[in-house]
Amino acid sequence: MIKEKILNILNKQINEELFSSYLYLSMSNFFSSQNLDGFAKWMRMQSQEEYGHGMKIYDYILQRDGKVVLIKIETPKAVWKSPLEVFQETLKHEQHISACVNNIVNLAIQEKDHATTQFFQWFVGEQVEEEANAINIVEKMKMIGDNKSGIFMLDRELGRRQ
Ligand code: OFO
């Protein structure tokens, strides 16, 4: 049986992942309103990925015979100053998620919950990738600056995400 402390932090993490999904959907919506369809597609796919992360934890709790508790998802921000600001916030948000994942692993180790420690290794690896993707886009956007054709090309590149 999963310990209550672990169960609570896992339920909180479902909420974090679903909020991430909601935040990225809001960013996608913002990009659509700016006619940046490639960025919008990238963010929409990211939103779906985050939903998947939440459900991965959801299924894990059920597997461990725990109780899933769904809590209120906050309203995400809807307007940003520039595409660069959107991706800078994405990076900041992913760094926050990495800290949440590390806290879960720390607690699982402390509570000698080997199953949760092992299960969360996937998330540890995923966060390295998520942060690297955001850094990569932020750096490209800084290089491009206000150059419209650069933004157009990056929009096209990100729109190719499958
Ligand atoms: Fe972006 O990795 Fe989940 O939250």
- Residue 28's pLDDT is 98
| Superfamily in which the 4-158 domain is placed by CATH | Ferritin, core subunit, four-helix bundle (1.20.1260.10)
pLDDT single digits (tens) 69-90: 999 999 999 999 999 999 999 9
pLDDT band at 27 (very low <50, low <70, confident <90, very high): very high
% of the chain at pLDDT higher than 90 = 98
Nearest ligand 1 atom, CA 20: 4
User: Which residue has 């998947």 as its token pair?
Assistant: 52
* Nearest CA-CA partner of 68 in 79, 57, 78: 57
Q: How far is the CA of 149 from the centre of ligand 1 (A)?
A: 30
Domain ranges of the chain: 4-158
Nearest ligand 1 atom, CA 94: 1
What are the structure tokens assigned to 8, written together? 């609570």
- From 130, 131, 135, 137, give the residue whose CB has the most ligand 1 atoms within 8 Å, as the site to mutate: 130
Rg over CA atoms, the chain: 17
pLDDT at 92 over 90: yes
pLDDT single digits (tens) 93-121: 999 999 999 999 999 999 999 999 999 99
What is the Cα–Cα distance from 153 to 157, expressed in whole angstroms? 6
- From 17, 60, 104, give the residue whose CB has the most ligand 1 atoms within 8 Å, as the site to mutate: 17
pLDDT at 141 over 90: yes
- Residue 107's pLDDT is 98
What is the Cα–Cα distance from 11 to 8, expressed in whole angstroms? 5
- Residue 1's pLDDT is 87
When pLDDT is averaged across residues 147-160 and rounded to a whole number, the result is 96
pLDDT at 143 over 90: yes
